[in-house]
Amino acid sequence: MKYFNLHTHQFTNQPDVLELVNQYPQEFDGAIPFYSIGIHPLYIDENRLESDFKIVDEKLALTECLALGECGLDKRSETPFKVQLSVFERQLALAEKHQKPVVIHCVAAFQELIEIKKRLKISVPMVVHGFSKKIELVKQLIDNGFYLSFGKNLLRNLELESVFVSIPNYRFLLETDMVEEGIRAVYALAAKYKGLELSELQEIVNKNYKTVFECHKPKTINHKP
């Protein structure tokens, strides 16, 4: 595997890229080879929650489903925060049940996120996707066992360079989310910021991928950088 895209909404089907394509329960596409699935805090529909949970539970049991998510907490959402907390914690129980890592969407609720991980004693890896915050928060999240994924904001926000450089090499992943630039552009910039050759960065990301997804490796992917 030359490139791993931790979070994308667009399946590009490139032979040297393993894409973790984000899927929602009611819009599931069975043609996508590897994916994550979850109930996003912005799209919680209480009228169909039981149906959504059933689909998420069923898909998490499959080998091609590599992770739960994106799911999490968002204080900008119109959904009451108590409802978000309930839906998030119930999804985390499914991640524990199926022993799948979690791709996290978090907006203005990082202290709650850390508290939930501690209280529920979550054992599966948790990756905060699209990270764009300050170094002070980085330390808190790393100290509490989170992984951080960078992509869109790394490309768009020059001030994020120092934050990314501060991340231990064993705790980051890379993604594109919904940006037009491909994962190669993200890798190239990440390697530049870290002062690494592209091959060195690929080796680091592959190692982190194996750590997070080690029990759920797709059989058809070559993991050598």
Asked if omega into 214 is within 30° of 0 (cis), the reply is: no
Assess if residue 47 is contained within a domain: yes
Query: Interior CA angle at 129 toward 142 and 141, to 5°?
Result: 15
Assess if residue 27 is contained within a domain: yes
Cβ neighbours for 155, distance < 8 A, ≥ 6 positions apart: 179, 181, 185, 186, 189
Cβ neighbours for 45, distance < 8 A, ≥ 6 positions apart: 52
105 is in an annotated binding site: yes
Measured distance CA(147)–CA(174) in Å, rounded = 11
Question: What pTM was estimated for this model as a whole?
Answer: 0.94
Assess if residue 193 is contained within a domain: yes
Work out the pLDDT band at 215, boundaries 50, 70, 90: low
Residue type, 180: E
pLDDT digits (tens, 9 = 90+) for 147-164: 999 999 999 999 999 999
Q: What is the CATH number of the domain that holds 142?
A: 3.20.20.140
Q: Name the residue range of residue 86's domain.
A: 3-216
pLDDT digits (tens, 9 = 90+) for 108-158: 999 999 999 999 999 999 999 999 999 999 999 999 999 999 999 999 999
Residue 16: per-residue pLDDT: 96
203 is in an annotated binding site: no
Measured distance CA(110)–CA(200) in Å, rounded = 31
Residue 224: per-residue pLDDT: 38
Assess if residue 223 is contained within a domain: no
Query: Interior CA angle at 179 toward 3 and 156, to 5°?
Result: 100
Cβ neighbours for 144, distance < 8 A, ≥ 6 positions apart: 114, 117, 118
Assess if residue 222 is contained within a domain: no
Q: Which of 38, 30, 18 is nearest to 173 (CA)?
A: 18
Assess if residue 123 is contained within a domain: yes
Assess if residue 224 is contained within a domain: no
223 is in an annotated binding site: no
For residue 17, the cross-strand partners are: 3
For residue 174, the cross-strand partners are: 150
Assess if residue 40 is contained within a domain: yes
Residue 214: per-residue pLDDT: 82
The domain total for the chain is: 1
Measured distance CA(113)–CA(84) in Å, rounded = 11
pLDDT digits (tens, 9 = 90+) for 36-76: 999 999 999 999 999 999 999 999 999 999 999 999 999 99
7 is in an annotated binding site: no
Residue 1: per-residue pLDDT: 85
Answer whether 66's CB lies under 8 Å from 100's CB: yes
